[in-house]
Structure 1
């Protein structure tokens, strides 16, 4: 028997259509809500990222300013130290020149006149002979002081001769300073350049004598690509080269500052209480 089919009324069709529309609207609302949630979440993430970005930029700028202030203070300090060193070396030169050219000349002249007078009048006097000896002793003493301030050998013949003489004068029965150089002995640099390097090496040799307990030390010089290289090695007890601030009595930081002004490089290899000794390397552009 065939089933009877009821015709769908207009009211039912309308209800179905409204249900479909309602379902579609709900779906759109849910989609819109989901989209809004994603937008809000994304916005929150972007805000957090922007916050961290601004914080990072702020801290980075603060760090840069701090480093800049530190660099500025360091430059000012270096300038003060270098100015003091330059003034000291200039004064040394003036005093040495005054002692050598004036005081020593006066003593020599006095001794000469005394010799002429005693010879002319054939005078034999113990007091006059003592006076001559005193004048000679004063002349030699002032000559040594003048040489210590600014060596005559350095001024007249240059750095190579002066450093070789420095090694000879500091050698004794306790320690021997050996000198070698591939630089021709008649090589001359600017006066200030030679003076600065001479006093730096002199201070390093004094450190070896006072602190290293070494028996031998070697000073060598050579040039390479417009760079003057000075290497000083001793066989002493050494020290912790990484703790320069704790051994400021050595004056190594002042030496580092002076070499830095010459746009050079200063390096130390040393270990405390070992038998490897200490090696110092100075590398400066030739002036």
Structure 2
């Protein structure tokens, strides 16, 4: 009987325990699988999120780069436009300067021709006519009022033509040079209303090229004319000296002055023409002046000596 019981227990209970054990194993494996799957899903989700963040960063960087490139392109475009505008302006200024310089050169050439014609021809004819009248009156011993008037008229015409010729191209400038001509310019324009003083550290016998002296003389002459017509000055000074192969001319007056920062409003003074002339000589031109302060006006011209 005991043997049969043992057999029955072994036969019926052992499989049940094995079966229970196998069910626990299955459930354990299922739970592991579930955990593994959830872990995999979490990893996938994290990877997706990381990928999305990476994509967002790439897109953001791309947008920033596009904006930077746009602004760079815009600035380059504007810079090129500005350069072209400046280039066109410079070209226009060069053309204008060339036109003005050509006009000035032509004017100076014509002045020389007219001065030479007046001095060498008309004045000579007037002198010859006066000489013939003197010879006639001496030989015939005729004292006629008409002849005396004719002589006076001829002498007056001679003097007027000489003055005109001198204003066009001074004889002193041609014969003796710039220093003598400027000194004479100061003497001729000095009167009871204004006194022009002249000083020079440059030796009076020094000569420069004819064109150089002529251009500088007319520049200074025009500035002297401005002082007489506009400054209401009582005294003016013109001084010359050389420094490091440059001729320096300083013109000062004690007049009412003007606003040197508003040169466009005072172009009646002809300062643009003067500036163009000096620029052609590769020189510099500066003005120190204040309106209605009784400090006068100082003009400094520096020109390389040619």
2:108 equivalent to 1:89? yes
- Cα distance, 1:73 vs structure 2: 1.0
Q: Secondary structure at the match of 2:114?
A: helix
2:50 equivalent among 13, 31, 38? 31
Partners in 1 of 2:167 and 2:221 — Cα distance? Answer: 10
2:247 equivalent to 1:232? no
User: 1 or 2, which has the higher helix percentage?
Assistant: 2
Partners in 1 of 2:162 and 2:177 — Cα distance? Answer: 19
- In our comparison, the structure showing a higher alpha carbon Rg is 2
Partners in 1 of 2:256 and 2:129 — Cα distance? Answer: 50
1:13 equivalent among 32, 39, 44? 32
Q: Secondary structure at the match of 1:82?
A: helix
Partners in 1 of 2:220 and 2:197 — Cα distance? Answer: 13
Q: TM-score when scaled to structure 1?
A: 0.95
Q: Which residue of 1 aligns with 2:168?
A: 149
Matches within 5 A, 1:1-287: 9-287=28-306
Q: Could you report, residue by residue, the CA deviation over 1:7-56 in whole angstroms, capped at 9, with x for unpaired residues?
A: 67322222222222111111111111000000000000000111111111
Q: TM-score when scaled to structure 2?
A: 0.89
- Cα distance, 1:129 vs structure 2: 2.4
Partners in 2 of 1:205 and 1:240 — Cα distance? Answer: 18
**Number of paired residues?**
283
Q: CA RMSD in A?
A: 1.4
Q: Secondary structure at the match of 1:228?
A: strand
Any gaps of 5 or more consecutive residues in structure 1?
none
- Cα distance, 1:185 vs structure 2: 0.3
- Cα distance, 1:113 vs structure 2: 2.4
